[in-house]
Amino acid sequence: MKKFIIKRLLISVVLLFFVSLIIYTIMRLMPTSYVESQAMALATRPGSKSYQEWVDQLNAQYGLDTGIITGYFKWASKAIRLDFGDSWYFNQPVIRKFSNVIWYSFALGLASFIIEVIIAIPAGILAARKQYSLADYAITVIALIGISLPSFFFATILKYVFSIELGWVDLYGIVSRMHETYSQGGKVLDIIKHMILPTITLVVVSIGSLMRYTRANMLEVLSSDYIRTARAKGLPENRVVNHHAFRNTLIPIVTLLGGSLPGLFGGAMITETLFQIPGIGYTFYQCVTQGDIPFVMFYMVFMAVLILLGNLIADITYALVDPRVRVN
């Protein structure tokens, strides 16, 4: 087991090296308009150096004057020590900005993840138990609609109904205008209230795949031999489903859920941007549109790490929950 994990970790590090190299190469193609406008502003100061000198100095400062390979190793040697430089747009260290915004994303992701699991797994099992029933069709169609819904469209509908027509919640933001005047508990409630619509959006657009996955797995388990055996020896149907089938369905589901845990930190870019939740996704969107290379670079690598971590956790949980894998 230990050997397996170490081997996977080493592979992940190698993969991360190549992924970050590709990302760095693409980032170097990004417009450096920030540097140019900065140099322009600095050059207009009285008694300042010329524009070209400022451009050169800033490029050197940000490590943009070297070739891509050298630049990458310069960046990587700092990144290993968790020094990702300063965000140009927010004018503070990338790591500090990150630690300020990540918890909004995590709260949003966790809330929708929990709701998703609570709804999707029972629904998927129900659909599988009563295959071809009305409930099965309804759940399948709902799941497919959820998968097919563009998140921005669904979020817009939610905003239209609940913010504009009913006026229950604000259109944008994480706090209301009067936030500072509330008591401690009121502040928390205020933030929760602003999280409702984004959470619903995330749940609806992502619940479908888990539902279908649960249903497909449950169907497979229910058609296996040991379930037939269990039924043949006269066990009540409830016990067959809840005891024998459900446990075996859990194996792939827990693997999937374990693998999606790191994703909770990834932020939901579209949803956060639409509701202007100051999470990592919205911050990234702002940085991309402003050409903030250090932050964008950091986010991309962070996302790649999350994906790698997700795969790793999925593999490990698979080995943990299914003893058969461990033997092999």
Partner 1 sequence: MMENNNTQNEEMHLDDAARVKVLSPGMMVFKRFIRNKLAIAGIVIIAFMFFFSFVGGLLIPYSQSQVFYTTEEILKDYAGATKIDQYQIQTKDGVKLPSDIYSKTLIASSTGKFVFTSRDGLLLGLGNVGENTYLIFSLEETKKLLRKNAAYDAAVAAGENFFTEGDVTYLFQESSEPEPDVYIATEMGVAAMKSFTSYEQGGNFSYEFYRGSLVAIANGEKSFEEDGVTYTVDGDVISKDGSEYALVSDVNFNPAVSGVYLSPAYKDAALTAVEEGKKSFTFPDADGTEVEYIIENKNGQYTFRKYQVTRVIDSYAYPSKEHWVGTDANGMDLLARLMYGGRISLLIGFVVIFIEVFIGMIIGGVAGFFGGWVDNILMRVVDVVYCIPTMPLYLILGSIMDYYQAEPTVRIYMLCIIMAVIGWVGIARIVRGQILSLRELEFMVAAEATGISTYRRIFKHLIPNVVPQLIVFASMGLGDVILAEATLSFLGLGIKYPAASWGSIINAVNDSYVMSRYLFVWLPAGLFILLTVLAFNFIGDGLRDAFDPKMKR
Assess 6 for contact with partner 1 (CB under 8 A). Answer: no
Assess 249 for contact with partner 1 (CB under 8 A). Answer: no
**Distances in whole angstroms, Cα of residue 119 to Cα of each of 44, 105, 201:** 60, 21, 14
With respect to partner 1, which residue has the nearer C-beta, 11 or 188? 11
Please name the helix (run of DSSP H) or strand (run of DSSP E) that holds residue 264, with its range, or none.
none
Question: Interaction with partner 1 in 133-152: which residues (CB under 8 A)?
Answer: 137, 140-141, 144-145, 147-152
Assess 95 for contact with partner 1 (CB under 8 A). Answer: no
Asked if 290 and 34 touch (Cβ cutoff 8 Å), the reply is yes
93: phi then psi, degrees, rounded to nearest 5? -55, 140
Question: Interaction with partner 1 in 159-178: which residues (CB under 8 A)?
Answer: 159-160, 164, 171
Asked if 233 and 315 touch (Cβ cutoff 8 Å), the reply is no
Assess 265 for contact with partner 1 (CB under 8 A). Answer: no
**Distances in whole angstroms, Cα of residue 110 to Cα of each of 62, 71, 105, 262:** 36, 37, 8, 11
Assess 102 for contact with partner 1 (CB under 8 A). Answer: no
Counting beta carbons within 10 angstroms of the beta carbon of residue 271, is it exposed (0 to 12), middle (13 to 18) or buried (19 or more)? buried
| Residue whose C-alpha is closest to residue 325's, from 255, 226, 227 | 255
Closest approach, Cβ 163 to partner 1, in A, equals 9
Count of positions on this chain that bind partner 1 (CB under 8 A)? 53
With respect to partner 1, which residue has the nearer C-beta, 250 or 270? 270
With respect to partner 1, which residue has the nearer C-beta, 121 or 296? 296
Asked if 179 and 187 touch (Cβ cutoff 8 Å), the reply is yes
Among 1, 29, 232, 327, binds partner 1 (CB under 8 A): 29
Closest approach, Cβ 45 to partner 1, in A, equals 26
The C-alpha atoms of residue 249 and residue 245 are separated, in whole angstroms, by 6
The C-alpha atoms of residue 84 and residue 96 are separated, in whole angstroms, by 10
- Interacting residues of 26 by C-beta distance below 8 A, sequence separation 6+: none
Among 101, 308, 313, 314, binds partner 1 (CB under 8 A): 308
Question: Interaction with partner 1 in 51-80: which residues (CB under 8 A)?
Answer: none
Closest approach, Cβ 184 to partner 1, in A, equals 31
State the residues that interact with partner 1 by CB under 8 A.
11, 14-16, 18-19, 22-23, 26-27, 29-31, 33, 131, 137, 140-141, 144-145, 147-153, 156-157, 159-160, 164, 171, 216, 219-220, 223, 266, 269-270, 273, 284-285, 288-289, 291, 296, 299-300, 303-304, 307-308
